[in-house]
């Protein structure tokens, strides 16, 4: 190994490099801290070649505790490298260039600010080489220092967490808004059946009043008793406790309280009626029993103070207050009103009570309007009583009675027999017992139709009140024989005589002079062949025989009241036209309606039209008086039993037939229709009695007498003292 040179090494510029402390040579092979290169805290070297070293300011030095040791080690390398001598001049030059060119740990000063280059990591000095040609040392690759791992930025984490939280809350908020707006109706409706209760508030049904405002039918507050079978603990014991109070057999109540499924569902029935229209006192007793699953609630009960008073005309209602027959059915919409309801949120189970502050809505019920009829309650009562008494003599009979106010056409009474109790309409022998006979009882009117024939003949001038002509005992038309019960034997008869003896032959001869077309025309004018429009549902229209359907016998049957279908009310209205100076007035029952607020609305004025002139109507009335007055050597009139003492009465008896569904029924229909006082009629009374044994004729006239007498006295009509009935000649000479 060549000896080390003690001379200071030179850099590439030829400048001598030595110790930073002085120029004294150092001992060969020994390197100290003074020969090591000093580092700044940032790893920068102090410029070499100067007399003094530059030091980095203390404020910029690194606080690394291992920095001085690294400087010592690196300085040792530099000292050892500085003592080497190149073997040749080329090596010396290359060595100088390496020294100046920047071996590991050397700073090349390019600018005022030195740039630190990485130094060699190798700690031990390179091994010594033997003398000989030296190869240039291979440049080792420069390694970049490993950077320490970057720590997480807390501000970045905070921002990320904030964004995630806001996103979560925003998603929840959007979902809540969607549920509250778009989906809220569906979810709300889904829960309604569980928490919303609806209670119907029944509207009080309007009353039916008589002409003086007295109730014929009205509603009163009551209670209904119900059961929840799912909550009834012992249905047999419960039924036994309720039976004496409700008047219902315990077995029937127990059967109602048995658990059942609702139709079409799997849920148990939670409501069943036990009784309707229970009186308030009875309901209080049931509440006091405190039976599990049994409750009471507001209800309505229809009361009919008169029982059967005008029952066939008024009709009745169901337990739900729906009209089923009569006026109750015809004017159901007006009487029923509009029910209200209460809707509220309630708890479940034992807390099934309104939720405080929960949803609650109440629609108040609107009571129904009331009907005020033209019927007089007292007169109706007496009419029914008289009719029932007279009809009792003819078993199995059907009867009807109508009383009309002449100038107005108002129905003052309208009775039927049999009748029923409207408060308990199920207790009847037959549903037909509930029919209103005055409007549904269709008959061949018989001889009472003769007044229409004679009235048409007077109006058309075919006859006069003084007309007379011979009347034979019999007549054959179309192969059918017609005869009189009072034989005239071909003698000349007066028109009043024909009416008094109810001559069929005389009437047929008058109709022959009139003609069928004119007779049919007057039948229509008197109101036959069409409903009167009185106000009751199901009113029969009757039937007239069209002219093209007349046979040979029709010329004899139609004038005397056969081959004609009519109701008692139609015939009463026809006689009312005679009593009203020839003007037909539509009979009607409804006087006015009374709203819930008390406002009164009169019914429409009845339809009227002229049938006879006042003179002809008066002449016909005078001739009809013969029916109740003629009683002499020539015979007795057919209507003497209908005479009312103290009053002039004009009327006509009749014997007709009854048809049911087009089939003739056995027996006869006896009738009498009359008016009083005859000089100026105030009232018309019609009585019809059908009896399978033919006893109606003996009943109708006496019933008329009693009804008309009571009516005249009830309305205080003065007796006919100054204007007595005229004297009639049946067979003038």
Q: Which residues are catalytic?
A: 447
Check: CB of residue 1 under 8 Å from CB of residue 128. yes
Q: How far is CA 340 from CA 104, 105, 363, in A?
A: 106, 105, 5
Beta bridge partners of 604: none
Q: Are 630 and 702 in contact (CB under 8 A)?
A: no
In a 10 Å sphere around its CB, with 0-12 CB exposed, 13-18 middle and 19+ buried, how is residue 444 labelled? buried
Helix/strand/coil for 369: coil
Output the DSSP codes for 624-661.
HTHHHH-EETTEE-TTGGG--TTS--EEEEEEEEEEET
- State the Cα–Cα distance between residues 507 and 471, nearest whole angstrom: 10
Residue 442, both tokens: 């269709």
Share in percent of the chain as helix, strand, coil (round to 5): 35, 20, 45
Burial class for 183, CB neighbours closer than 10 Å (0-12, 13-18, 19+): exposed
Candidates 601, 540, 526, 571; CA nearest to 674 is 571
- Tell me the three state secondary structure of residue 29: coil
Contact 715, 472 (CB under 8 A): no
Question: Concatenated DSSP letters for 394-452?
Answer: STT-EEEEEEEETTT-BEEEEEEES---TTSTT--SSGGGGS-HHHH--EE-GGGGHHH
Those residues whose C-beta lies under 8 Å from the C-beta of residue 243, and which sit 6 or more positions away, are 249, 250, 253
Q: Which residue in 325, 324, 321 sits closest to 336, CA to CA?
A: 321
**For residue 635, is it left (φ>0), alpha (ψ between -120 and 50) or beta?**
left
């Amino acid at each position: 190994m060549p000896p080390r040179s003690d001379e200071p090494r030179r850099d590439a510029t030829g400048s001598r490099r030595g110790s930073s402390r002085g120029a004294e040579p150092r001992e060969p092979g020994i390197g100290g801290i003074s020969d090591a290169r000093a580092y700044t805290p940032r790893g920068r070297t102090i410029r070499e070649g100067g007399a003094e070293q530059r030091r980095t300011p203390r404020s910029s030095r690194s606080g690394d505790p291992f920095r001085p040791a690294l400087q010592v080690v690196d300085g040792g390398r530099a000292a050892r490298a500085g003592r080497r001598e190149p073997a040749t001049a080329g090596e010396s030059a290359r060595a100088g260039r390496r020294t100046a060119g920047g071996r590991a740990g050397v700073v090349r000063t390019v600018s005022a600010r030195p740039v630190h280059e990485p130094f060699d990591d190798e700690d031990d000095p390179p091994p010594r080489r033997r003398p000989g040609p030296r190869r240039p040392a291979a440049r080792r690759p420069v390694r970049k220092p490993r950077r320490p791992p970057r720590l997480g930025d807390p501000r970045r984490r905070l921002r990320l967490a904030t964004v995630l939280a806001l996103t979560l809350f925003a998603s929840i908020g959007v979902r809540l808004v969607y549920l509250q707006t778009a989906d809220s109706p569906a979810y709300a409706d889904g829960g309604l059946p569980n928490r919303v209760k609806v209670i119907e508030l029944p509207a009080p049904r309007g009353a039916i009043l008589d002409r003086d405002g007295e109730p014929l039918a009205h509603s009163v507050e009551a209670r209904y008793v119900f059961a929840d079978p799912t909550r009834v603990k012992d249905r047999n014991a419960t039924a036994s406790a309720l039976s004496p109070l409700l008047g219902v057999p315990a077995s029937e109540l127990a059967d109602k309280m048995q658990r059942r499924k609702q139709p079409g569902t799997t849920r148990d029935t939670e409501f069943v009626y036990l009784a309707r229209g229970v009186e308030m006192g009875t309901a209080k007793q049931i509440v006091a029993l405190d039976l599990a699953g049994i409750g009471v609630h507001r209800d309505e009960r229809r009361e009919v103070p008169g029982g059967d008073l005008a029952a066939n005309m008024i009709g009745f209602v169901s337990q739900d207050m729906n009209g089923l027959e009569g006026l109750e059915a015809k004017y159901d919409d007006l009487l029923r009103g509009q029910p209200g309801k209460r809707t509220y949120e309630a708890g479940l189970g034992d807390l099934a009570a309104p939720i405080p502050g929960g949803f609650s809505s109440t629609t108040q019920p609107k009571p129904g309007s009331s009907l005020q009829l033209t019927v007089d309650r007292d007169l109706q009562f007496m009419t029914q009583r008289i009719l029932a008494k007279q009809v009792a003599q003819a078993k199995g009979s059907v009867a009807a009675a109508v009383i009309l106010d002449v100038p107005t056409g108002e129905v003052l009474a309208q009775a039927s027999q049999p009748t029923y109790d409207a408060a308990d309409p199920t207790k009847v022998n037959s549903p037909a017992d509930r029919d209103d006979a005055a409007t549904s009882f269709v008959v061949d009117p018989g001889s009472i139709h003769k007044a229409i024939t004679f009235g048409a003949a007077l109006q058309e001038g075919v006859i006069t009140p003084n007309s007379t002509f011979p009347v034979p005992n019999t007549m054959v038309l179309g192969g059918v024989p017609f005869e009189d019960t009072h034989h005239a034997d071909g003698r000349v008869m007066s028109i009043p005589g024909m009416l008094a003896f109810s001559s069929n032959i005389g009437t047929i001869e008058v109709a022959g002079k009139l003609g069928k077309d004119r007779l049919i025309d007057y039948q229509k004018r008197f109101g036959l062949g069409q409903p009167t429009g009185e106000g009751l549902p199901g009113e029969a229209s009757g039937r007239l025989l069209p002219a093209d359907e007349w046979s040979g016998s029709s010329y004899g049957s139609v004038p005397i009241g056969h081959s004609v279908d009519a109701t008692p009310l139609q015939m009463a209205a026809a006689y009312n036209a005679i009593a009203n100076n020839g003007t037909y007035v539509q009979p009607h029952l409804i006087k006015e309606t009374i709203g819930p607020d008390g406002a009164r609305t009169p019914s429409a004025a009845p339809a009227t039209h002229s049938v006879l002139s006042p003179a002809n109507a008066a002449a016909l009335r005078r001739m009809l008086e013969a029916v109740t007055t003629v009683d002499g050597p020539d015979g007795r009139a057919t209507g003497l039993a209908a005479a009312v003492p103290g009053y002039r009465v004009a009327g006509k008896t009749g014997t007709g037939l009854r048809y049911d569904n087009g089939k003739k029924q056995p027996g006869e229909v006896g009738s009498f229709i009359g008016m009083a006082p005859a000089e100026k009629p105030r009232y018309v009374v019609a009585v019809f009695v059908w009896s399978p044994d033919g006893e109606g004729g003996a009943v109708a006239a006496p019933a008329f007498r009693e009804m008309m007498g009571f009516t005249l006295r009830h309305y205080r009509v003065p007796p006919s003292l100054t204007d007595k009935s005229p004297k009639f000649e049946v067979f003038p000479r």
